[in-house]
Amino acid sequence: MRLHVPARLRWSDLDAYGHVNNVQMLRLLEEARIEAFWSPEETAGVPVDCSETAVLNVQPGSGTLSLIARQEIEYLVQVPYLRQSLDIQLWLGRLGGASLEVCYEVWNPETTEPRVLFTRAATTLVLADSETGRPRRISDVERAAWSPYVEAPLEFSRRR
């Protein structure tokens, strides 16, 4: 099972080559990850539509930080400027004690044929106590929400 997060490009994601910049692609992944996993409840006075996986509370005062330990990304096809949202598909390649691996495939807009896979990536996240900076265990609520999205991790084809 995968999450599908629509990702709206900004024109400023393009670089002087006229394609989505390779670093900005990681920015899009960051935003998709936040959309998918961060709880929005306390960010505003009204309810926000969000995925059932959006249960990680990293609001200031929540006691939790979400830290990035590593990232790996393969760029398969250059991404042009598109006004329709990209289709970022996310799943968990691993759900550990205090850390998890988020895997991504970035596809062209869902309504577009043929489908094109632009990018594959993985991010290792560690949940940490915001006071001590030390890893904290994934809670039962988090584990329950995320377990359905555990799948085989990405196999990267371009590793040495």
* Nearest to a copy of itself of 2, 72 (CB atom): 72
Q: How far is the CB of 135 from a copy of itself (least distance, A)?
A: 14
Burial class (CB in 10 A: 0-12, 13-18, 19+), 107: middle
CA-CA-CA-CA torsion sign (116, 153, 92, 73): negative
Q: How far is the CB of 75 from a copy of itself (least distance, A)?
A: 6
- Among 4, 16, 22, smallest CA distance to 108 is for 4
Q: What angle (nearest 5°) sits at the alpha carbon of residue 13, between those of residues 28 and 48?
A: 40
Token pair listed for 35:
């959309």
* Nearest to a copy of itself of 45, 134 (CB atom): 45
Residue ranges that bind a copy of itself, judged by CB under 8 A:
8, 10-12, 14-18, 21-23, 26-27, 30-31, 34-35, 40, 43-46, 48, 50, 60, 65, 67-75, 78, 80-84, 93-94, 101, 109, 111-112, 124, 153, 156, 158-160
Q: How far is the CB of 34 from a copy of itself (least distance, A)?
A: 5
* Nearest to a copy of itself of 140, 155 (CB atom): 155
* Nearest to a copy of itself of 53, 93 (CB atom): 93
The helix/strand/coil state of 74 is strand
* Nearest to a copy of itself of 54, 145 (CB atom): 54
Residue 98 φ then ψ, to 5°: -125, 0
Q: How far is the CB of 66 from a copy of itself (least distance, A)?
A: 9
d(CA 98, CA 7): 27
